[in-house]
Amino acid sequence: MNNEEITNPVPSVDGKSIAIISYITIIGWIISYIQYGNNKSQLAIFHIRQSLFLMLCMFFTAIVQMLFAFTPYLGWIISTSFSLVMLGFLVLWVIALLNAINGEQKPLPVFGNKAQDLLKTIK
């Protein structure tokens, strides 16, 4: 085996794959961010920002929901309403994942453009 046969033993990951991986848990987001460092892509960074913002919103909503869950009566009602908010985040996650699968850079409804503005320092 000579040196000409070994050109690139590790295949490169494209921007679409990075975008899709970014929506698969926080571990997937970390992997996609590392892969983005090796393969810069506008599609990838767009979805890395969208998925991080969506995950942060879901995390803080879950924290608030847990705080209200231990308050009798009114807290239980508020906690239940936060469950509906989490269901909305799930719908947004599916929309965002489908956009990544289709290779589209559509911002999420409600806060997609805001996510890009707030997280523009992620490059």
Give the per-residue pLDDT at 8: 47
pLDDT tens column, 23-38: 999 999 999 999 998 8
Report angle CA 48, 52, 55 to the nearest 5 degrees.
140
| CA 41 vs CA 66, 87, 105: distances in Å | 38, 30, 12
Exposed/middle/buried for 16, CB within 10 Å: 0-12, 13-18, 19+? middle
Q: How far apart are CA 37 and CA 51, in angstroms?
A: 17
Say how far residue 22 (Cα) sits from the centre of its chain.
5
Q: How far apart are CA 81 and CA 58, in angstroms?
A: 14
pLDDT tens column, 93-123: 999 999 999 999 999 988 889 999 999 998 8
What global pTM score does this model have?
Answer: 0.82
- Say whether pLDDT at 2 is over 80: no
